[in-house]
């Protein structure tokens, strides 16, 4: 039996104007943007639709902006009757997946990721931490490199295991720089510094994790109605208390995206539908396994394309 997974993008997929076309045409889509504005008491929808880009890219704006846009698109798309057997999201996208799975209400999800963004932004003084994408080196060898650099007093670790040959490292600015050089010496093709405001998914985020626990403790989290593949373990979970623990760990642990996709394929998923702006996850999934079908839904036209394609498969 063919199974479908909905996957939700993380930071880096945001663009000024995302979701606007659907929101202009459909009042129920616009309603999500209004609800986000009300919950956060800021003109978030204005920032999403009009920019400026520099402000949208600030972590504590990007996170609620992406969650709002992705959930608004999901709601529109699901009216076609397409449903998921599993959901997953990349980093921030895991919160979108949890709203999709009914663990968090939309308002609580928007609030949680706004606070998460603030805590992440403030955990490490600006300029002291960084991240870099290492291309063309396997994880075991890169793990040895980061361990060696960390032991010399410059913390750095694996942050996002995205697909074969693409791993993001994170840590102190010096640690990331040294690890980038050593990774190339070990055979990596490139080490590209990322334009981010902090060392996300590294041990340097532990202060943010303590603050996040307080916020999540104040939310009404329910068991997931659809299994969510956790970033931290790449295993399906549904229990609200386990989900909460994994969200806190996620801040300072690597995102096991490649493992998560492989897990869903092992569970029978052969169709991945990326919901939200961009096609980053669809690209990664194809690099992990070319045999699966990937779609991305970001507007009316792409939603219709997917609906038509899925209908044809059933015929």
Rounded to the nearest 10 degrees, the angle between the axes of helix 139-151 and helix 173-185 is 130
What is the share, in percent, of the chain residues with pLDDT greater than 90? 96
Catalytic residue among 91, 172, 197, 298: 91
Nearest-10 Cα torsion for 21, 104, 36, 196 = -80
Identify the DSSP state of 44. Answer: H
CA pair distance 285, 272, nearest whole angstrom? 8
Catalytic residue among 201, 282, 296, 298: 201
How far out from the chain centre does Cα 233 lie? 15
Residue 107: how many CA atoms within 13 Å on its side-chain side? 10
pLDDT recorded at residue 2: 82
Angle at 168 between CA 4 and CA 200, to 5 degrees: 90
201 catalytic? Reply is yes
Reported confidence tier of residue 312, pLDDT bands at 50, 70, 90:
confident
Angle at 214 between CA 250 and CA 98, to 5 degrees: 50
pLDDT tens digits for range 128-159: 999 999 999 999 999 999 999 999 999 999 99
pLDDT recorded at residue 1: 60
The hierarchical CATH code for the domain 129-196 is 3.30.70.250
pLDDT tens digits for range 1-30: 689 999 999 999 999 999 999 999 999 999
Give the mean model confidence (pLDDT) for residues 261-288: 98
Q: For residue 99, what are its two tokens? A: 């709203």
Asked if the 3-123+204-314 domain carries CATH number 3.40.228.10, the reply is: no
90 catalytic? Reply is no
Domain ranges of the chain: 3-123+204-314, 129-196
pLDDT tens digits for range 68-119: 999 999 999 999 999 999 999 999 999 999 999 999 999 999 999 999 999 9
* Dihedral sign, Cα of residue 200, residue 204, residue 208, residue 209: positive
Reported confidence tier of residue 222, pLDDT bands at 50, 70, 90:
very high
pLDDT recorded at residue 236: 98
- In the predicted model, is pLDDT for residue 315 greater than 80? no
- Cross-strand bridge partners of residue 133: 168, 192
- Cross-strand bridge partners of residue 153: none
pLDDT tens digits for range 185-207: 999 999 999 988 789 999 999 99
pLDDT recorded at residue 195: 84
């Amino acid at each position: 039996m063919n199974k479908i997974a909905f996957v939700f993008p993380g930071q880096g997929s945001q663009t000024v104007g995302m979701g606007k076309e659907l929101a202009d045409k459909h009042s129920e889509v616009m309603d999500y943007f209004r609800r986000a504005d009300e919950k956060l008491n800021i003109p978030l929808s204005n920032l999403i639709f009009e920019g400026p880009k520099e402000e949208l890219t600030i972590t504590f704006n990007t996170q609620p902006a992406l969650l709002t846009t992705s959930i608004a698109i999901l709601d529109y798309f699901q009216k076609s009757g397409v449903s998921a057997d599993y959901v997953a999201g990349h980093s921030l996208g895991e919160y979108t997946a949890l709203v999709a799975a009914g663990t968090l209400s939309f308002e609580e999800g928007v609030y949680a990721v706004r606070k998460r963004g603030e805590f992440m932004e403030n955990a490490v003084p600006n300029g002291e931490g960084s991240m870099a994408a290492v291309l063309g080196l396997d994880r075991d060898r890169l793990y040895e490199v980061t361990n060696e650099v960390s032991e010399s007093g410059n913390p750095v670790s694996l942050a996002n295991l995205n697909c074969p040959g693409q791993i993001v490292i994170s840590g102190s600015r010096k640690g990331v720089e040294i690890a980038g050089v050593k990774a190339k010496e070990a055979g990596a093709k490139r080490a590209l510094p990322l334009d981010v405001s902090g060392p996300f998914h590294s041990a340097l985020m532990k202060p943010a994790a303590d603050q996040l626990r307080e916020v999540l403790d104040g939310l009404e989290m329910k068991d997931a109605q659809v299994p969510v593949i956790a970033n931290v373990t790449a295993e399906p979970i549904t229990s609200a208390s386990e989900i909460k623990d994994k969200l806190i760990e996620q801040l300072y642990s690597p995102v096991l995206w490649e493992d998560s996709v492989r897990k869903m394929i092992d569970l029978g998923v052969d169709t991945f539908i990326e919901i939200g702006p961009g096609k980053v996850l669809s690209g990664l999934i194809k690099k992990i396994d070319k045999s699966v079908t990937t779609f991305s839904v970001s507007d009316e036209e792409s939603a219709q394309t997917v609906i038509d394609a899925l209908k044809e498969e059933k015929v």
